[in-house]
Structure 1
Amino acid sequence: MEKINQYVSLVNQAFTVAKENFNNPESLKKAESDKEALISSLEKDSFIKVPFVGDFNAGKSSLINSMLGIDILPTNILPETAVSYELYFSSNEKLEVWLDDKLVETAPISQLKSLQLTPRNFVKLYLNNPIVKEWNDRNIVVVDMPGIDSGVEAHNNAILHYVLDGTFFILVSEVEGGTLRLSTLSFIEEIKKYGAQLAVVVSKIDKKPEQEVQGVKDNVESVAKRMLGESTMVTSASAVNKDFNGVLDILSSIDAEELIV
């Protein structure tokens, strides 16, 4: 990202000046350590998080799995054990389990579905996947979130954490609900308080005839635009039918540099 690259270049230039003028090896060593820490912080902050949120069984995990072309994210799990999963690209696949801001475990991807997790955990998945690479190259990290209707305080705190990051949310609402549920409307009201951006996906459209799907989408779009503004993007998707181009369009429309705070 241009802005972050400029900052990194300035840090490297400053370190070059330091090397030319420091005579004390200890001072030079500390300057190099400070440089690496600052660059690491800049690169970390260059990503924006894009959480997929919605009620349990809205199809968030299945939809992301379908886009990735792999069955990686757990589905059909209990609300009490659900955690957030952040997706990063790496040629060396692994997972990291975090507790708040502390790394507590590193393990092979194959152990993902056997992890013993609590709602205070979140997991970073490092996947050798071209779709994840494409998102990361655009400085986007997709996050699969627990259901917003769980009532688990740790889940609500996790969602609040992403809101405070000033990020972009993709709200997934399953077609069989017919409209946006009360829990979803409450979440939208909360999002509005923090100024975060939001798009809406009507999911599981394979469950209804095309005409009914269009009626539900029109209804959801009317409510979403009334609450969030006429520019709000609303689309539909089916993980089963691999119908997710509208979701990819939403992700492609996100300007990460503009959203970084």
Structure 2
Amino acid sequence: MSVSTYSHLKNELLSCIDEMLTIEAIRGCPCEELREKIEKNTFNLVVVGQFKRGKTSLINALLGADILPVAVVPLTSIVTIMTYGEALRIKVYFNDGRVSEIKPESLPEYVTEKGNPKNIKDVSEVIITYPSPYLKDGVRLIDTPGVGSIYQHNTDVAYQYLPKSDAALFLLSVDQPMSKAELDFLNDVKEYSNKIFFLLNKADYLNEKDIQESIEFSKAVLRDVMGVDVKIFPVSARLALEAKQSNSQEMLQKSRLPEFSDVLNRFLIEEKGKILILSVTNNLLRIISQARFEIELELKSLTAPLDELQKKVSVFETKKQEVLLEKQDFDILLDGETKRLLKNILDEDIEKFKKELMPQVMANLENYYNENKGMSLKELHKALEQQVITEVKQAFSGWRVVEDEKLAKAFESICKRFILKINDTVDELLKFSSELFQIPFDAIKAEALWTVKSGFYYKFKDEPVGLEMLAGTLTLALPKFIGERIILKKMKEYLHQVIDIQSGRVRYDFAERLDKSKLDFRWEMLQRIDATIEGISAAIKKGMTQRQRGEKEVREREQVLIEMSEKLNEINDKLLEIRGDVYV
């Protein structure tokens, strides 16, 4: 399936949803949710590579504009995300939940080490919207800091984002050999080798023979690290950007970027686009199947003998009570699964993180102490306190991103299991009603499309903890070598307290968010059972009420229901055609 076909099928599905929402028998909520899935579907491309490989130039080339500043110093651990928008807008998201919109010329103040040293401004990420055709079909470019820079936290960010990407672009260049840091990184992430694309930038520096030699050399090195043969795409980001800005197709072909873009787009469509189209199509077919059943049920209630109908309604009411009891069981089981997730994943991960973090930060604290013993006692106390806060803050910010993704996936897995169970319960109720009222019903299986909504953040608690005595007159009046030891000892105690406080704070915030996600999911999913019961009951009630109004009203209603059914059949045929086109 090509990108153009994917885009066409997306629009066809949106058109089907618009048509469905004009039909009385279709309830709006599920269709609107599926529309949101289509419109908000994204292909996340993470761009990874060592500083000065031309990473920023490549992103600008893909966008066709000089959006990102070409840095002259390594970036901080700030992730910059490019997504589609009608105009160029830049928003800075902070770890405490604040959001600020900035001017393009202010961007380096937040994403470079010079403008934001060690992320002193506490930025979480920067999101840039831009009307680039490359981004229009849902592609999001995620620029991560350079692998193997002098700032270890930069490499950590690349590790965090690779697992949740749909594809990663790993940039090499003809003018620099691969570093040990890059090879170590690739060795650690080789489990994701199926979605890493290797690009050899600055290909315009060499002739064809030298390019091939460079490719063969790099392939041999990568084969040793990754354990598999990899394909390397030579490109010139500089030529590609110039070509797009001057609208020169000849120069664009020389840049070799189109060849790579075609391969990447096919991968994304096959990997993710096809799954989305099929899932939404099957979910829409499921909605239509249930709506057609309810229409047939109302038609039946317009003509069936009343005595017979009332007996069947009584049998249905008994079944309805059984389903409502089953619904209560779902609620209890979901609550238990969520609590187990907190205990078996979050609590264990927090304890493991604390054990790994403590000796690392303690060693850094002692090194910093030894390097700065020349300070006065008061200056030393303040410097060590800031060192503790900065180190722990950075550590928790990085860990939280990874843990957030891990918990989201675990909770989504729980949700998908429950959705399948709830769908089976709904199907069982519809099949029971189908046999009871002698109306055909097609049960259509559809993949669960639930995802946990983002928006988690926590405020780092950096208030001093029991440090009043550190700067007290007695400590400061002691001989310097004694005062220094007391300050170091107290600062180690402070370090333990800060880590414990942040662990508790993060645990509380994760648990609170998970509970909210659980309540959102519970309401939405159990609503499916209620909506099915209500739909069946309402269809029977409408027919019986219509009969009381006379023969003319019955005939008019029959005509309306027949026309609705015909319209649903047309949409159903169109959806089956869309499903078939996915495999062409």
1:147 matched to 2:146: yes
Amino acid at match of 1:190: D
Partners of 1:236 and 1:246 within 8 A in 2 = no
Q: 1:37 to 1:162 in 2, by over 3 A?
A: farther
Higher relative contact order (CA 8 A, sep 6+): 1
Amino acid at match of 2:175: E
Matching of residues 1-261 of structure 1 within 5 Å:
46-79=41-74, 81=76, 83-100=78-95, 102=97, 104-115=99-110, 116-117=115-116, 118=119, 121-133=124-136, 137=137, 139-178=138-177, 180-193=178-191, 197-225=195-223, 227=226, 229-230=228-229, 232-242=230-240, 243=255, 244-256=257-269, 258-259=271-272
Gaps of 5+ in 1: 21-31
* Matched residue SS, 1:63: helix
* Matched residue SS, 1:254: helix
Q: 1:155 to 1:228 in 2, by over 3 A?
A: same
Take 1:43 and 1:192, find their aligned partners in 2: how far apart are those partners? 32
Name the Cα RMSD after superposition: 3.7
Take 2:212 and 2:197, find their aligned partners in 1: how far apart are those partners? 17
Take 1:99 and 1:247, find their aligned partners in 2: how far apart are those partners? 35
Residues 205-259 of structure 1 show CA distances to partners (whole Å, capped at 9, x for unaligned) of 22334322220112223333552534x3311111232212243234323225625
TM-score for the superposition, normalised by structure 1: 0.72
Take 1:188 and 1:145, find their aligned partners in 2: how far apart are those partners? 15
Shift of 1:59: 0.5
Q: 1:100 to 1:160 in 2, by over 3 A?
A: farther
Q: 1:167 to 1:131 in 2, by over 3 A?
A: closer
Take 2:62 and 2:36, find their aligned partners in 1: how far apart are those partners? 29
165-174 vs 73-82, which moves further: 73-82
Partners of 2:74 and 2:149 within 8 A in 1 = yes
Amino acid at match of 1:122: E
Shift of 1:36: 8.0
Partners of 1:140 and 1:256 within 8 A in 2 = no
* Matched residue SS, 1:255: helix
Take 2:268 and 2:44, find their aligned partners in 1: how far apart are those partners? 12
Amino acid at match of 1:107: I
Shift of 1:113: 3.7
Shift of 1:37: 8.8
150-159 vs 51-60, which moves further: 150-159
Q: 1:196 to 1:101 in 2, by over 3 A?
A: farther
Q: 1:98 to 1:235 in 2, by over 3 A?
A: same
Amino acid at match of 2:199: V
Take 1:99 and 1:233, find their aligned partners in 2: how far apart are those partners? 38
Partners of 1:51 and 1:144 within 8 A in 2 = yes
Amino acid at match of 1:126: T
Take 2:141 and 2:215, find their aligned partners in 1: how far apart are those partners? 24
Take 1:66 and 1:166, find their aligned partners in 2: how far apart are those partners? 20
How many residue pairs were aligned? 238
Take 2:90 and 2:147, find their aligned partners in 1: how far apart are those partners? 24
Q: 1:47 to 1:228 in 2, by over 3 A?
A: farther
* Matched residue SS, 1:70: coil
Q: Which has the higher strand share?
A: 1
Take 1:50 and 1:164, find their aligned partners in 2: how far apart are those partners? 11
Task: Report the equivalent of 1:29.
Answer: none
Quote the sequence identity (%). 23
Amino acid at match of 1:78: V
* Matched residue SS, 2:141: strand
Amino acid at match of 1:251: L
User: Highest Rg: 1 or 2?
Assistant: 2
Residues 107-157 of structure 1 show CA distances to partners (whole Å, capped at 9, x for unaligned) of 343533444542853211100222222xxx1x3212222110114343233
* Matched residue SS, 2:238: coil
* Matched residue SS, 2:189: helix
Partners of 1:68 and 1:129 within 8 A in 2 = yes
Q: 1:203 to 1:229 in 2, by over 3 A?
A: same
* Matched residue SS, 2:50: coil
Amino acid at match of 1:148: V
* Matched residue SS, 1:258: helix
Partners of 1:199 and 1:250 within 8 A in 2 = no
Residues 148-181 of structure 1 show CA distances to partners (whole Å, capped at 9, x for unaligned) of 0114343233222212315311110110124x33
Take 1:59 and 1:53, find their aligned partners in 2: how far apart are those partners? 10
* Matched residue SS, 2:67: coil
Q: Which has the higher helix share?
A: 2
Shift of 1:64: 1.9
